[in-house]
Structure 1
Amino acid sequence: MLATSLFGILSLSSTGLGWEWGKSGKWDHRQRTTCHGTESTINYTTISGFFQQDDSATNSKGFDYTATNYGLIDQSYPTDNKFDPNGVKTQWERFAYYVNTLNRDCDQSTQYKVLFMARHGEGYHNAAESYYGTPAWNCYWGPLEGNGTSVWRDAQLTEAGIAQCTKANSFWSHSLATEKIPAPQSYYSSPLIRSATTANLTFNGLKLPADRPFAPTIKELFREGISMRTCDERSNKTYIQNLLPAFKFEEGFTEEDELWKGYEGETSEAQRKRTKFVLDDIFSNDDNTWISITSHSGQISSNLKVLNHIAFSLSTGQAIPALIKAVNLRKVKPVTTTIQSWTAEATCISPPITSISGQGCVCSTTTSALLATATPTTSLA
């Protein structure tokens, strides 16, 4: 269903001139924190019907965005008669014009952005999990530095992972030149090396428009779900900066990783809370429409939940686009809730017999290390 059927959603202002052409707008601090004396919130809707990945009939297993024009569905738009009366524009050019029209014609409590969400290429931790199997990885190998041959603390890309990035770079090079896909206006990355390296190998060296250079920003909260496994601990800021000097860091990015604990894991509720926070930050402060986010399978899954998108799993090196409608709404009533932010995880002192979903490790001896108890956090929902 086309997005034009959804303009009736409640907004803070019933009138507005929309946003300048090619921009989706942003909201200042006053707009985001107050609305007639109360707090506001951003409501996200994924506008389906534009990409194969937002169709429940699409099988995510084996889906390759590079072989499907990023999944963009071949169709007409209400703006085609004006923009492309002779039928000579590409699908991406017509889609981009339609999205720009949505932002121009909406009120200033509404934004439309297109997110290009990419999972990093294969890392050494991915290869190790495939080799040892998920139970042994979760319960024994994952919390280690490596196996004496490979290191997976803040894992680097494997040769296969680098090849996936090369494939992505070739796709973008072709799509920019031939399909006229809009180049991202903003680039964001997880701070973990595998994701930042993937972003660099994917976009660096492309023939990008002068007003859309590859100028990536690292955002702490786009990192993978924080488990006790060492692949989820990031390197320090100095190391990342030396490895990828073209990358900027968001304000307040700390030298050391202050989130990874190594003895307990982040809950899904806590991950969704930080996902909402970082997405709200982008939609409030970045007025660009076309946004690239290079991250992780678990974090992209969390993005999709917050954005009210259907579940869609990504293999390494794959990506998913989404047209998002965001509305800055009056928050009816702040509710104080307590969520469990961290949860204990068990490990084995040797490779386990197996692991059971929802129960944990089944160790080969009677000894397992049950880690610290969960940490509750009180917050406004």
Structure 2
Amino acid sequence: MSPTASASSPTVFARRAVFPFTAIVGQEEMKLALLLNVIDPKIGGVMIMGDRGTGKSTTIRALADLLPEIEVVADDPFNSHPSDSDLMSDEIKQRLEQGESLPLAKRKVQMVDLPLGATEDRVCGTIDIEKALAEGVKAFEPGLLAKANRGILYVDEVNLLDDHLVDVLLDSAASGWNTVEREGISIRHPARFVLVGSGNPEEGELRPQLLDRFGMHAEIRTVKDPALRVEIVEQRSTFDQEPALFLEKHEPQQVELQQRLVDAQTRLKTVAIDYDLRVKISQVCSELDVDGLRGDLVINRAAKALAAFEGRTEVTVDDIRRVVVLCLRHRLRKDPLESIDSGYKVEKVFGQVFGLAEDTSTQTNGAGQRIGMR
């Protein structure tokens, strides 16, 4: 099924009309980071910081709508994969082992919005102790993490969310599982999702320990160019007035991008990165005094995902250049007296290590040229 529908399918538009991803103007950093995390969710999610009204929520909803349908076990609340044991609940595994024939269904990729006031029970799910004791069954009420399995979990204003809840989300995103324990009863289920957080830096920053655990960090700014602002306003106005025609116009690009993502996910396992490049990646992290090894891991994964997205099986220096700022800018130790932008520092050290000090064009421009959408 294509990500959008043709004009001959009015029922789809009556049910839902989502602004198409390929029609979004600018914000190349954010779009590239999101696409790479869809190709390889192990990158660890995206933190998007920027001004209000810059299209953060619109872009994330557009991405979820772009993705192809997934096959799930029809009667399972966790969107379990019918054959991949890493993406299925323990109950489904048991049913498979017993030789049961599972009912299958196709479902759109879920985008779950996490409200700021959500409790831990709402996020993780709850165990009905009374029912468990009375009937001898594990009565579990799934939470938002269950719904988000194999989908996208979006937290707007993540910098205002309780630190403990952010920790829970990051733990689940990293391990791919959510465990709920109460009164000696323990239930776990798969929770493999792309975690996307957004916020306005004026309203406060995340603690460095939490920020470091997001795979990538995209910064977006309000567009200053008047002509580009007019184009954005006109695009939105046209969509609001005639959503069916607007979606039909962009359907070919949507289908093409969707297929590129599917092909990239398949190709990812075959992508290799030369040993010398891996050494230089670690040298960049070392010279920037990045704590831990998350930076090294994420750059390697993001560069491979980018190569896969562009149809290649070998990572190039240019692939690394285009993801290195996204992967490292939020991992640098901040000196309150320093006025140098963290992205510029990363680019400068990258250029020195890779011998490209005179050829460090901005990462955003590089991303924009390669995505090939606008």
What's the TM-score once normalised by structure 2's chain length? 0.25
Higher helix residue share: 2
Q: More strand per residue: 1 or 2?
A: 1
RCO comparison, higher one (Cα < 8 Å, 6+): 1
